[in-house]
């Protein structure tokens, strides 16, 4: 469980860094590009073997890593568009509700256990996601941009499922590094194009934020994969605990560090999140 705890804390730290980017008026896209290069470097640094590009290209997971690199950037942009057109709450609910996809995948494909207590825990977890994510000023999801939260829901779920399915047991650092390398290349192309249009060059203050973001971003994926590879663990259980843990921690961090207002509905969601974690863990 230590791997899962580190993954949850790393993912929560991503939330904190994004808040700081907004507070200090740091270009988010530029920081994300630096983040992907940093995460890529972390993966190669942790890989103990000799890095041979030809072997990476010939590996069974290389094509999957390329596709995931594209998805990382694409879904990030979809998330931004969803927040702008449908509201932040809708974007938050759509991305977090996507946990149902890897859960169902694990139960069907990996033939993982299904019991009343586990199903109850998962259902309560989904209710907790909604209650914790929705703010008092709610946006109606049925707008002309309804396709955006649907794409965000499917894309986020596919990323989680694919990372678990394609990651090699003995090459997690190299697999993760390749994904981030592809995302970094695409990010450079996108950010360069936007910089030329808007005439907003990279600033030096982006680098430290991007490096910190990259370290915790890599940690969130690396340790989640490590947790998923522990013997006698089930992905449906781990993904539920991971998503709900991140949601609860992020909400509490927002309350304590950033003085965010939490409604009664949000508090009920946090309590239900803790209950769902206990039910799923002990099932």
In percent, the amount of the chain with pLDDT more than 70 equals: 94
The string of pLDDT tens digits covering residues 126-151 is 998 888 877 655 544 445 577 888 89
Nearest to 133 by CA among 49, 248, 48: 248
Pairwise pLDDT comparison (158 vs 137), residue with the higher score: 158
List the single range of 23-27, 36-40, 89-93, 139-143 with lowest mean pLDDT: 139-143
pLDDT (0 to 100) of residue 142: 47
Nearest to 12 by CA among 237, 225, 243: 243
* Model pTM score: 0.87
Which value, to the nearest 10 degrees, does the dihedral of the CA atoms of residues 174, 95, 233, 120 take? 180
pLDDT (0 to 100) of residue 88: 62
pLDDT (0 to 100) of residue 85: 76
User: Rounded mean pLDDT of the chain?
Assistant: 87
Spatial separation of the C-alpha atoms in residues 74 and 70, rounded to whole Å: 6
Asked if pLDDT for residue 184 goes beyond 50, the answer is yes
pLDDT (0 to 100) of residue 200: 67
Which value, to the nearest 10 degrees, does the dihedral of the CA atoms of residues 247, 252, 258, 261 take? 90
pLDDT (0 to 100) of residue 211: 96
Q: Quick one: DSSP state of residue 23?
A: H
The string of pLDDT tens digits covering residues 82-91 is 766 776 667 7
Q: How confident is the model at residue 227 (pLDDT cuts 50, 70, 90)?
A: very high
Asked if pLDDT for residue 176 goes beyond 50, the answer is yes
Neighbours of 189 (CB within 10 A): 12
């Amino acid at each position: 469980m230590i791997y899962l705890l580190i993954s949850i804390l790393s993912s929560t730290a991503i939330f904190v860094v994004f808040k700081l980017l907004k507070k200090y008026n740091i270009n988010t896209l530029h920081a994300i590009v630096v983040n992907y290069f940093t995460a890529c470097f972390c993966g190669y640094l942790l890989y103990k073997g000799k890095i041979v590009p030809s072997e990476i290209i010939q590996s069974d997971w290389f094509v999957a890593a390329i596709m995931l690199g594209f998805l990382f950037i694409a879904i990030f942009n979809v998330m931004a568009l969803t927040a702008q057109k449908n509201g932040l709450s809708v974007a938050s609910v759509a991305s977090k509700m996507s946990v149902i996809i890897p859960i169902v995948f694990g139960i069907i494909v990996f033939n993982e256990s299904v019991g009343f207590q586990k199903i109850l825990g998962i259902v309560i977890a989904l209710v907790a996601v909604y209650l914790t994510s929705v703010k008092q000023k709610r946006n109606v999801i049925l707008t002309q941009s309804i396709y955006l939260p649907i794409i965000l829901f499917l894309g986020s779920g596919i990323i989680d499922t694919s990372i678990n399915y394609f990651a090699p047991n003995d090459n997690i650092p190299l697999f993760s590094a390749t994904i981030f390398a592809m995302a970094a290349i695409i990010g450079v192309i996108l950010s360069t194009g936007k910089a030329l249009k808007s005439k907003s060059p990279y600033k030096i203050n982006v680098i430290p934020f991007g490096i910190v973001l990259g370290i915790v971003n890599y940690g969130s994926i690396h340790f989640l994969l490590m947790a998923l590879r522990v013997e006698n663990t089930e992905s449906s259980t781990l993904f539920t605990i991971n998503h709900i843990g991140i949601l609860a921690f992020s909400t509490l961090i927002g309350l304590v560090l950033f003085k965010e207002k939490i409604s009664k509905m949000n508090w009920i969601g946090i309590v239900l999140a803790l209950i769902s974690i206990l039910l799923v863990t002990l099932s």
